[in-house]
Amino acid sequence: MLKINPFSILAETVSPLAIQVFILAMLSLIVIGTVIQMIHHKNVTYFFNNAKKAKLAAERELGVGETTSVILKTVVHDIATTAELGAGKRRIAHVMGMYGTILFWVASVVLVFFYTGTEKATSTIWPIIWHVGAIMTCVGGYWFWLFLRVDVLAEAHPWYRVIKADLFVLALLACATTGLAWSYFQSSGSAGLEYLFLVLFITSNIVLFGGVYWSKFAHMIYKPGAAIQKNLAEADGSRDNLPPLADAPKQFGLGIKREQPKHY
């Protein structure tokens, strides 16, 4: 199963061009949904105005080299490892889900456009990457959904409570789960279940990418930009108009040690 390209087998009954068009349509939905959300929520306007205020409040001007260094450090440390979550289970689950999703999506594009069709070459590496990415997404995503969400861990809500903000993670988990099930039943020769999970896989992708405007999907674009702007503001002294950190250590007393900190 892990070495089989499910899209190549699908191409025996569905035109490879149709599969490629579907991928491009999903990419278009990402762009359209993100742009509409930016216009409606005025995110770009906020970041632009905030950047102007920070520049006026800056205590010193950063050079090109220092600016580049801050950006690279932010990308490597804050973004690539989700350092804002600190050390612990939440960070591990997020990193696993994030890199699993990246592998899953990139492998999907590579398999569809380069290894699907009668005249295309075959690959054993990319199908493995596709399956491993989906498995990592499921492990990190379900771990987060069932045990590590703020409203479950800190606010005692049941794990099955669903709100609009959960659209992204649930649709993403549905994509990875149904994709793995589709591949499994396809390789085992269970035609009925294969087509059932194929339909569910397609539907979950449409919900995921078509729901960008209503979900937290676009946050994957906003958060890196916000992290870079924050670190640049700290480097030039503007600190987003916040006061500097106090030199004296915080005194909470012994009461803070009575329970694990989990109130976000």
> Is the domain 6-235 a CATH 1.10.1060 member?
no
The H or E element containing residue 130 is helix 125-143
For each of the chain's 264 residues, which pLDDT tens digit applies?
888 999 999 998 999 999 999 999 999 999 999 888 888 877 777 777 777 777 777 778 888 898 899 899 988 888 888 877 777 788 899 999 999 999 999 999 999 999 988 888 888 899 999 999 999 999 999 998 888 887 776 777 787 788 888 899 999 999 999 999 999 999 888 878 999 999 999 999 999 999 988 887 877 777 787 788 888 888 887 776 676 666 665 666 666 566 666 655
For 45, 69, 207, 222, the CA distances from 228, given in Å and listed in that order, are: 16, 11, 30, 10
Report the pLDDT value the prediction gives residue 190, as an integer from 0 to 100: 82
What does the alpha-carbon distance between residue 48 and residue 180 come to, in Å, rounded to a whole number? Answer: 42
| 3-class DSSP assignment, residue 45 | helix
Query: Where exactly are the structural domains of the chain?
Result: 6-235
Burial annotation 98-115 (CB, 10 A radius, 16+ → b, else e): bebbebbbebbebbbbeb
Which residues are CB-contacts of 221 (< 8 A; sequence separation ≥ 6)? 34
Tell me the C-alpha distance between 153 and 137, whole Å: 20
Strand, helix or coil at 149?
coil
Q: Centre a 10 Å sphere on the Cβ of residue 163 and count the other Cβ atoms it contains.
A: 8
